[in-house]
Amino acid sequence: MVFADDDYIPDDVTPRPLDDLYEQSEMPPPPEIQLPPLVLNSIWDSDMMTKFLDDTTGRKKWRCGHCGQEWFEHNATKALGHVVGIVKDIKACRGTIPPRYKDAYINFYRSKYDSRAFGAHSIAKMHSSLDTTDNRTLSSLLKQGQKRTADTAIDLTVHSPITNSVTTASSSRLSANKKPKETFQTTLSSQFHKYPGSRSSPDAIRAANVAFAHFTLANSLSFRIGECILFCRYTRAVQQCGADYKPPGRNMVSGKLLDATFESYYHEEAGKLFEEPDLYSISVYRDGATIKTTPLINVLACSPGNPACVLDVVDCTLHMSEGGKKDAKFIAQEMLQVLRKLDNIKKGSVTQIMFDGASNVQKAGAIIAPHYPCASVEHGAEHVVSLIVEKLMLLPCLREYGKLCKVVSGSL
């Protein structure tokens, strides 16, 4: 039936049964669509933050989809600060940000803050480890005969330029017949008092930057050497010295300082091998190598506390120049010297000795076995497998396949 007029009312307006049922029942609300939480790896991952180029100037710009404001340059920090409302050098967003986006922005900001805090904690932990290593190296250097005086007593801790640090002579102990030796204290205020020029002027900073750049370029060093933690520690230690300080010469660096540094790192790495010694033992393995006509034998060890530790690198030049060879007897003698050093730390700690498949080293393992009955001498197959793969990769088809893999991996 078609109504000719919108105001037409039909004669029969008696409610029908279904109409009564419809009026009594309540319509259920439409189901809410549960969207997954928004996870951002970058502020630009949000579809409400748009990067584009200005049509007139061609400059980079970005737009906030919540408030419609636009800014020049793609600055991720300012974009995040805009929607979070924390960064001071940009206005906070005045638009309406849905809870899903607001939570994503706040979580992303917190993750960046946590990563920065973790990075700062890692750097502080590294400085603490380096403090221990440097102090151990200094102690080793002093044992070699160098006496510690007021001129050589310096503080190597990372907090020395900021907090007061006390460096005392190692043998300043009180005794009944000897007078106490002098102690030396280094503080920030005393450094400024001793060296009035410590507060650098802009001209001095520019001159130092030019000299540093010249030094870096002339010695073909990495441009990032100024960011190296060890180099920064060195400059911090130099600041505690007087104007007459001179860096050590090549003979001292390659002699006493190198020996002291090696001894410090050796004891540190060897100590990691013996973590939880009652539960785990140590595996020792070796291999021969010739680097630029220099015959070498490297001896390594591993344990759960230190998966890769270099125990020794034996230079066989003198032995072979006298007509000797890297035979089983020579290899066994060098290995036994290294194993006895580990026995001095904890006897019976070595339970596995591994060699490659060469006949001379397998015979050396047979010589070592009676000296360490609790250790098993095994044949390491990884070295043989690597040699087989190396020969297979010389085939033209596999060589072309390797080039293709490099191209594909480089384009990803």
Report which of 343, 335, 369 is spatially closest to residue 273, judged by C-alpha positions: 343
Same domain, 206 and 304: no
Task: Give the pLDDT score at 373.
Answer: 80
Task: Please answer whether residues 86 and 106 qualify as being in contact, where contact means their C-beta atoms are separated by less than 8 angstroms.
Answer: no
Residue 242 and residue 302 in one domain: no
In a domain, 294, yes or no: yes
Query: What pLDDT, on the 0 to 100 scale, is given for residue 12?
Result: 56
pLDDT (0 to 100) of residue 132? 76
Same domain, 325 and 213: no
- Using DSSP's 3-state secondary structure scheme, residue 228 falls into coil
Same domain, 93 and 159: no
Does any domain span residue 3?
Answer: no
Regarding whether 288 and 246 lie in a shared domain, the answer is no
Taking a C-beta distance cutoff of 8 angstroms, is the pair 298, 310 a contact? Answer: yes
Q: Is residue 71 part of a domain?
A: yes
70-72 and 282-291 as β-strands: parallel, antiparallel, unpaired? unpaired
Identify whether 245 is part of a domain.
yes
> What CATH number is associated with residue 324?
3.30.420.10
**Is 27 among the domain residues?**
no
Residue 77's domain spans which residues?
43-108
Q: Are residues 143 and 61 in the same domain?
A: no
As a whole number of angstroms, the distance between CA 108 and CA 81 comes to 11
Verify that 53 and 163 share a domain, yes or no. no
Pull the structure tokens for residue 346.
Answer: 């904890």
Report how many domains make up the chain.
Answer: 3
* C-alpha 107: how far from chain center: 25
Whether 412 is covered by a domain: the verdict is no
The continuous run of DSSP H or E covering 176 comes out as none
Domain shared by 238 and 299, yes or no: no
DSSP-derived pairing of the beta strands 49-53 and 294-303 = unpaired
Compute CA 57 distance to the chain's CA centroid, rounded to the nearest angstrom.
42
Q: 149 and 100 in one domain?
A: no
Long-range contact set of residues 377-386: C-beta below 8 Å, sequence gap at least 24: 377/353, 378/352, 378/353, 378/354, 379/354, 379/355, 380/285, 380/354, 380/355, 380/356, 381/357, 383/287, 383/356, 383/357, 384/356, 384/357
- What pLDDT score does 158 carry? 40
Q: Taking a C-beta distance cutoff of 8 angstroms, is the pair 98, 35 a contact? A: no
d(CA 384, CA 361): 14
Kindly report whether the global pTM for this prediction surpasses the value 0.75.
no
Q: Is 345 within a domain?
A: yes
With a cut of 70, list the residues of the chain below it in pLDDT: 1-32, 87-88, 115, 117-118, 121, 144-199, 277, 383, 411-412
Q: How many CB atoms lie within 10 A of CB 392?
A: 10
Is the residue at 334 inside a domain? Answer: yes
The answer to whether residues 369 and 311 belong to one domain is: yes
Q: Are residues 247 and 132 in the same domain?
A: yes
Q: Which neighbouring-strand residues pair with 298?
A: 287, 313
pLDDT value, residue 37: 82
Q: CA–CA distance from 284 to each of 214, 318, 345, 357 (Å)?
A: 46, 25, 15, 16
Q: Around Cβ 231, how many Cβ atoms within 10 Å?
A: 14
Whether residue 283 is found in the same domain as residue 242: no
